[in-house]
Chains A and B, each alone.
Chain A
Amino acid sequence: MAKSGDGAKSGDGAKSGDGRRREIVPTITIPIGPIHPALKEPVNFRITVEGEEIVDVDVRSGYNHRGIEWLGLRRNWIQTLYLAERICGICSWVHPFCYTQAAEDACNIEVPERADFIRVIIAELERIHSHLLWVGIAGYEIGYDTILHITWQVREKILDLLEFLTGNRINYGMGMIGGVRRDIEEKHILKIDENLKYYKEAADQLINIGLHDKTIEKRMKNCGILPRKDALELSILGPTTRGSGVRKDVRQDEGYAAYGDIGVKAVVPQDILGSVTGDVFDRTVVRLVELKQSVEIIENALDMMPSGPVMYEKKPLKLIKQMQKESGEGIGMHEAPRGEVIQYIRADASDKPARWKIRSPTINNLLACRPMLLGDQIADIPIVVASIDPCISCTDRVTIVERDEKRSKKKEVLFTMQELRGRFKRKVFV
């Protein structure tokens, strides 16, 4: 993840024939992060600029590593599901959805068809709330606070709906291996219909604002350009790659859960605007149109939803007992609002997973920041970084501690969690 960023002037930044100018204008390196008003989570960008122009970018991650995978291997199947839900606050359905799919795949558990549809409905509701949140943040990053307040007001309704459906606003607690924990009944459907009508209008209005507001256009067009070639080579995911014109969407390509029945087509800017630039504006348009697409998917899912049970096995203990007998490998995937999430699980005939690996979309998308930012201005940094919708708490699987003895005279010491706990106890209680 972290490249050696000490060679501040790298070859890519220098433009041919620009050598004379470089000697005159001194470069400075600006640290953006780990704590910075433009970032919502800790990640570090070291950005080298000449005047206002960016010539080099280095990304460092790992400030939010919590050892979730390690913790998951020490809890049983059901407890790990709850842990998966708490990987991230915004994609709080993405990870349990993925985890349950992987666990079901590993332990050969059949999911009832109705549960698949309910999972899709929750996933799409979450996408609406996540994209609305993103639009607000994008507005904030370009200093357009009105957009932030208005979109978050709109978003409030969907959180209320999710609370009505699942019992919680953020961590829904809806997932279960082999199904979902709550059914969607007649009263829920009425409420969903009512909200969908509202969101159809809201999405139309937002698309209208996004396409026609002059200041948004000024700030978002022709900045943070990610060419289609780079998007493919860096294997960028989600709306970020679709903004560059790549038709990549797991819902379309794999057809997992009920998506295969419903039929989803990747939203790309060439279908909406007629041409692709791969800039921030295109990514914004893709996200705004996906709001509408999600509403349509939910409508279809509600129409096609068959009746039947929503759980494979109601008693958790019995489920764990059954899973204890199985061993194998499983993969779960889901098109999260930020791109494809993959989870890998190995079951080893035990009551807990033997290996659990999470790959979130931001780990790919963070790399796109470099080609996007090169040649842009300092003023573009917040919106370009925000345009990949980074979710650092999903991403950080490892922390790298620099132990460069030449640079720092003080030797850094690494502690394990257990040692730290021990030190803490001695200090406080003895």
Chain B
Amino acid sequence: MLFEVKICLYLLGISLFYTGFLGFLFSGIDRKLVARMQGRVGPPIRQPFLDFIKLCGKEDIIPHDATAWLFKFAPVLALASVITVMLYIPVGFSPIFAYFGDLILILYLLTLTSLAIVIGASSSSSSLFAALGAQRELVMLISCKVPLAIIIFGLAWRINPLVDVPFSLLSFSQVNLWIMAGPLTFIGVAMLFFTFLCCITGELSAGPFDIAKAKTEIAGGTLVEYSGRSLATFKLAEAIKMIAISSLAVALFFPMPLSNIVGIDGLLGILLDCLFHILKIFLIIFVSISVVRTVMARLKITQAVRFYWFVLTPFALTGLIFIMIEYLV
């Protein structure tokens, strides 16, 4: 085997273990926090790990009418795309493929994860509830991506004159969005950040946007037919996706490392940055998932689309206009 391919495989393995661990840890913490806020004791923080291990040992049941290879392939596709996306997003230190990918690739890979769920649920499981779930997942995908794209393209446009490669995530660590111009830009960036937080909730289908997997409505929706290792793979992919998208928020809006300020270099510095990054994504996950999940009911699909297209999209555009005014005038 080629040396480069070997290296790539090692890196993928490391990425999988690190982000998988973080993802399960955070979903455990999220469950515990929500439980405490609801006045329950809640499961132990290690529960997602235990669930994963147990699912891995269970039988993988494929429905009678399902297209077997597609049904089995979908979770692998979902996992592969989220691990790949983690190679382009900084998690405390600069990403492994820092000089190859850009924001559009990241958006594409994040979409691929949702599409993998749709493929597995709709075209191959032959279940009515899964098909309904897949429909809803697609609608969510379409509605959620509009404000997200506005944020990313708008910000890339704004930093274009300041850096060499505007669509690279590394460029965002070179400029500080918040203080690059006057107060109007600050407000605009804050509005975009709020929009991004709402998009995280929708992308991870948490709380009010838990529409595709609505337990009481369509009995678990997209994942209703999955069991055993395939379900475990999906769970792992979803946990990593949570880390990926919150890391993306950190990389766009709060890329500032701690090691420069404190003045520690080398391995210790990287470790410090990693811990700081974990703290940042924890705060983002807490605000955009745990709290929202506790204080809101699930919306209907029409209400969710209306929220993203007719509330959040104009909101993000207004934020963008604020930034533009100060830049152009």
Contact = CB atoms under 8 A, between A and B. Distances in A.
Interface of A: 28, 30, 36-38, 52, 139-147, 149-150, 153, 215-216, 218-219, 377-382
B30 interface: no
Contacts of B138: none
Given A28-B128, A30-B128, A378-B132, A219 B297 contact: yes
B260 interface: no
Contacts of B40: 149
B49 to A, nearest CB: 23
Interface string B195-218: 000000000000110110011111
B293 to A, nearest CB: 8
Interface stretch (B13-21, B171-179, B233-241, B299-307): B299-307
Nearest to A220: B297
14 contacts: A38-B217, A139-B297, A143-B216, A144-B298, A146-B38, A146-B295, A149-B38, A215-B208, A215-B296, A215-B299, A219-B298, A219-B299, A379-B211, A379-B217
B39 A149 contact: yes
> Which of A146, A147, A377, A382 has its CB near the most chain B CB atoms (within 10 A)?
A146
A394 B299 CA distance: 32
A-side interface mostly: helix
> Which of A377, A379, A381 has its CB near the most chain B CB atoms (within 10 A)?
A379
B294 interface: yes
Nearest to B210: A143
B39 A150 contact: yes
Given A30-B129, A143-B210, A146-B294, 14 more contacts: A142-B298, A143-B208, A143-B298, A144-B297, A146-B37, A149-B39, A150-B39, A218-B299, A218-B303, A219-B297, A219-B298, A379-B211, A379-B300, A379-B301
A144 B215 CA distance: 12
Nearest to A378: B217
A378 B294 contact: no
Contacts of A382: 216-217
B38 A150 contact: yes
Contacts of B128: 28, 30
6 interchain residue pairs of minimum CB distance: A143-B298, A144-B297, A215-B297, A149-B38, A38-B216, A379-B300
Contacts of A28: 128
A380 B215 contact: no
B219 interface: yes
A294 B171 CA distance: 65
A373 to B, nearest CB: 13
Interface of B: 37-40, 128-129, 132, 207-208, 210-211, 214-220, 294-303
Contact of A37 (B207, B216, B296, B303): B216
Contacts of A52: 301-302
B304 to A, nearest CB: 10
B212 to A, nearest CB: 11
Nearest to A216: B297
Nearest to B211: A379
A359 B216 CA distance: 29
A367 B298 CA distance: 27
A381 B219 CA distance: 12
A345 B37 CA distance: 50
Contact of B302 (A145, A149, A377): A377
B297 A143 contact: yes
A141 to B, nearest CB: 5
A52 B298 CA distance: 16
Contacts of B218: 378
> Which of A144, A147, A153 has its CB near the most chain B CB atoms (within 10 A)?
A144
A379 B40 CA distance: 27
Contacts of A140: 216
Given A143-B210, A146-B294, A146-B295, A377 B300 contact: yes
Nearest to A36: B219
Nearest to B129: A30
B99 to A, nearest CB: 43
> Which of B220, B300, B301, B302 has its CB near the most chain A CB atoms (within 10 A)?
B300
Nearest to B299: A218
A216 B302 CA distance: 16
A30 B294 CA distance: 30
B228 to A, nearest CB: 20
Contacts of A146: 37-38, 294-295
Nearest to A215: B297
B303 A141 contact: no
B305 to A, nearest CB: 11
Contacts of B220: 37
A121 B39 CA distance: 30
Contact of A219 (B207, B219, B300): B300
B39 to A, nearest CB: 6
Nearest to B209: A143
Contacts of B215: 37, 143
A149 B208 CA distance: 17
Nearest to B296: A215
Contacts of A219: 297-300
Contacts of B129: 30
B61 to A, nearest CB: 17
B217 A145 contact: no
Contacts of B208: 143, 215
A381 B132 CA distance: 14
A218 B297 contact: yes
A377 B299 CA distance: 12
Contacts of B296: 144, 215
Contacts of B219: 36-38
A115 B39 CA distance: 39
A150 B295 CA distance: 12
A379 B300 CA distance: 6
B38 A145 contact: yes
Contacts of B214: 143, 379
A379 B213 CA distance: 12
Nearest to B37: A146
